[in-house]
Structure 1
């Protein structure tokens, strides 16, 4: 999350640097909002996002809680699961983490994503849920 914040902040740093080098405005004028933005996007927001997420997997359902400004508490019964995915982007692969995605029947909240899981945990959770779904369908 911090690397994403850094990547988001980078264009603003470049813009502030160009304005400062061109001497259009004093160097501190663009630097102040960019520093504030960087502190929020790299320092504060990732920490709040990390502490606002959680999950609980019981024998027949998965509960996912998330949200900094808007809180969401979703319960997915395993009987509603249609299929499961474990996905990794390039940054996730670099750090050995993955997302577990549960696709359910219906249109509202048809998929639930658990980001930031260790890859091994995500695959073992997928297999545990898959075994439960398989027993239910028999």
Structure 2
């Protein structure tokens, strides 16, 4: 049944969000590395001892890692379940039955708002894995899924 389910990728605009977040983190890393590089050089250390590895890590985190992260997320929503698949090394396919949803959040960070995106967060009964996060949806799609889940919950409550 899961193999027949057509999973959809996250919105391509989410890749820009991931890259921007990575660039901000890389900027902080490079600033710290520059400070460490100056300290190492003042003690007679070789040039590039700290800055070179930091620059390589920053380049990887901005240009390669976001594409890999984005490509490893997919989802599908049926009338009764939300499927969220993710992971590169460890694959996880989470199935959330709509009837188990207790609370729904729709969040929009500044970068997501800029790109018209939202993150859907489902809270279910239980303690372990009771929070399922699905980022990178168009705001309208996230709202549609939220509203469909809410309507389904209200129908079952009657």
Q: TM-score, normalised by structure 1?
A: 0.88
Moved over 4 A (4+): 19-23
Equivalent in the alignment of 1:52: 72
Please tell me the root mean square deviation across aligned C-alpha atoms, in Å: 1.8
Residue in 1 that maps onto 2:21: 4
- Contact 2:84-2:95 within 8 A present in 1 as well: yes
Which runs of 5 or more residues in structure 2 are unaligned? 1-17
Q: Higher relative contact order at CA 8 Å, sep ≥6: structure 1 or structure 2?
A: 2
* TM alignment of 1:91-102, pairs within 5 A: 91-102=111-122
Number of residues of Structure 1 aligned to a counterpart in Structure 2: 138
Q: Is residue 147 of structure 2 the alignment partner of residue 117 of structure 1?
A: no
Question: Using the alignment, how far apart are the partners of 1:129 and 1:90 within structure 2?
Answer: 25
* Cα offset, 1:69, TM superposition: 2.7
CA–CA distance in 1 between the matches of 2:133 and 2:77? Answer: 13
- Verify the 8 A CA contact 1:81 1:105 in the aligned structure 2: yes
Distance in 2 between residues matched to 1:132 and 1:20, nearest whole Å:
58
Counterpart in 2 of 1:84?
104
Q: Is the 8 A contact 1:99 1:122 kept in 2?
A: yes
Partner in structure 1 of residue 12 of structure 2: none
Deviation at 1:7, TM superposition (A): 1.4
Structure 2 length as normaliser, TM-score? 0.78
Aligned pairs for 1:13-28 (under 5 A) are 13-18=30-35, 23-24=41-42, 25-28=45-48
CA drift of 1:134 comes to 1.3
Which residue in 1 is equivalent to 2:11?
none
For 2:91, which of 71, 90, 106 is the aligned residue? 71
Secondary structure class of the residue paired with 1:100: strand
